[in-house]
DNA sequence: TTACATGCAAATGATTTGCAGGGAC
DNA sequence: GTCCCTGCAAATCATTTGCATGTAA
């Protein structure tokens, strides 16, 4: 799915749900989908401002919450109180490793883990709607630089 | 490990790390360990106030952060911006299912999942310090009441 | 004695909301 | 023409911090 198609999908969803499709929302969604990275609300505001400095922070938050509810975007707690969002539409589900030193995010996926989650849920009569698996620690790069320091 | 022993362990840790062991900290830790549930900072403050209304919110937060750093307590983002803590000392590691309807928390544990997490981390040169696995959805009770409603 | 801890109130930072004017449908 | 959306500023909410005073070691 290319970006224009995606944008169309989102626009359709907004209208179907009774939301209006405004230039601000188009601009914010375009900015959110521009790259597949993990952005904060503030970064999204900044990116939107590159296109039009009049877009307000409030509208960014309001749009993000509609996008999240619709599953176009997924929010991750960063652990330090903030949140980052990622563009999900058209991307395969995956989990995250978060570096506690440099905040780098590594994505991974393991079907066996997903399967065992389902099994655990079944055992408890629980119906999974979504899940979040995060590994916190040191990424390759940060481990390497620690070892260097320790080594000398 | 009974509660007095636990308290002693925590007190020892505080002193070893150069923190002072004060009546407030003892009171707060006792309140945190009183039950194995998932409490907010605010609830802990309330519980502490039952013993001594002069304990301040700031001291609760300051004590929680030492407890968390030491691994006596573990913080979980609730998804709505807040956090809950749970007493970890003397309890086996486990993950959580969170009911999005009634907020009930079900604990579960799967060694195979842990193993696969380690494997994934190894593959990416990542060193896990801690992890968080949360399944969000409907608990048994809430599923049952939805079905009842749909059924009639 | 001397840092560190405490309580208080003010500061912070992310997110939300009330409101009056503007614009999608 | 409605009613939702927007920008702005003020309001929240959880958490943190500065400071003068208290106190564990």
What residues in chain A have their Cβ under 8 A from chain B's Cβ atoms? Answer: 77, 79, 97, 99-100, 106, 108, 110, 112-113, 116-117, 119-121, 123-140, 143
A128 phi and psi, to 5 degrees?
Answer: -75, 125
Q: CB–CB of A44/A64 below 8 Å?
A: yes
| DSSP-assigned states of every residue in A52-109 | -TT--HHHHHHHHHHHHHHTSEEEEE-SSS-EEEEE-TTS---EEEEETTT--EEEE-
Which residue segments constitute the domains of chain B, with CATH numbers given?
1-91 (1.10.10.10), 94-152 (3.30.1490.190)
- A48 sits within 7 Å of strand D by its CB: no
Tell me what the pLDDT averaged over chain A comes to. 90
pLDDT of residue B57: 97
Winning range, highest mean pLDDT, from A69-73, A134-138, B101-105, B114-118? B114-118
> Residue A58 CA to C18 C1' — how many Å?
13
B85 burial level (CB within 10 Å; 0-12, 13-18, 19+)? buried
Whether residue A120 and residue B100 make contact (CB cut-off 8 A), yes or no, is no
- A54 sits within 7 Å of strand D by its CB: yes
Q: Residue B79: pLDDT band by 50, 70, 90 thresholds?
A: low
Block residue for tokens 């597949």:
A36
**CA of A130: which chain B residue's CA is closest?**
B136
Summarize pLDDT for B18-28 with one digit per residue, the tens.
999 999 999 99
Chain C: positions less than 7 Å from a protein CB are 4-9, 13-18, 23-25
Q: Does position A36 have pLDDT exceeding 90, yes or no? A: no
Q: Does position A2 have pLDDT exceeding 80, yes or no? A: no
Report how far residue B117's alpha carbon sits from residue B115's, in angstroms, rounded to the nearest whole number: 5
Q: Report which of A5, A3, A10 is spatially closest to residue A73, judged by C-alpha positions.
A: A10
pLDDT of residue B152: 39
Q: Does position A151 have pLDDT exceeding 80, yes or no? A: no
The size of the A-B interface in CB pairs under 8 A is 114
Q: What is the pTM of this model?
A: 0.84
Summarize pLDDT for A67-97 with one digit per residue, the tens.
999 999 998 877 677 799 999 877 889 999 9
pLDDT of residue A52: 95
Whether residue A100 and residue B138 make contact (CB cut-off 8 A), yes or no, is no
A143 burial level (CB within 10 Å; 0-12, 13-18, 19+)? middle
In chain A, what residues touch B130 (CB-CB under 8 Å)? 136-137
Summarize pLDDT for A96-128 with one digit per residue, the tens.
998 877 778 899 999 999 999 999 999 999 999
Cβ neighbour number for residue A135 with a 10 Å cutoff:
24
In chain B, what residues touch A99 (CB-CB under 8 Å)? 126
Report how far residue B86's alpha carbon sits from residue B81's, in angstroms, rounded to the nearest whole number: 17
Q: Residue A89's Cα: distance from chain center in Å?
A: 10
pLDDT of residue B147: 59
Structure tokens at A13: 């969803």
């Amino acid at each position: 799915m290319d970006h224009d198609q995606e944008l169309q999908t989102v626009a359709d969803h907004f209208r179907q749900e009774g939301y209006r499709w405004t230039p601000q929302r188009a601009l914010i969604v375009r900015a959110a989908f521009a790259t597949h990275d993990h952005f904060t609300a503030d970064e999204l505001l900044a990116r939107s401002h590159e296109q039009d400095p009049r877009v307000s922070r409030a509208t960014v938050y309001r749009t993000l919450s509609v996008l999240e509810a619709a599953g176009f975007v997924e929010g991750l707690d960063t652990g330090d109180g903030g949140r980052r969002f990622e563009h999900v539409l058209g991307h395969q589900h995956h989990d995250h490793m978060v570096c506690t030193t440099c905040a780098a995010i590594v994505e991974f996926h393991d079907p066996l883990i997903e399967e065992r989650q389902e099994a655990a849920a079944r055992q408890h009569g629980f119906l999974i709607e979504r899940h979040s698996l995060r590994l916190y620690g040191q990424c390759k790069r940060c481990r390497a630089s620690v070892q260097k320091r320790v080594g000398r």
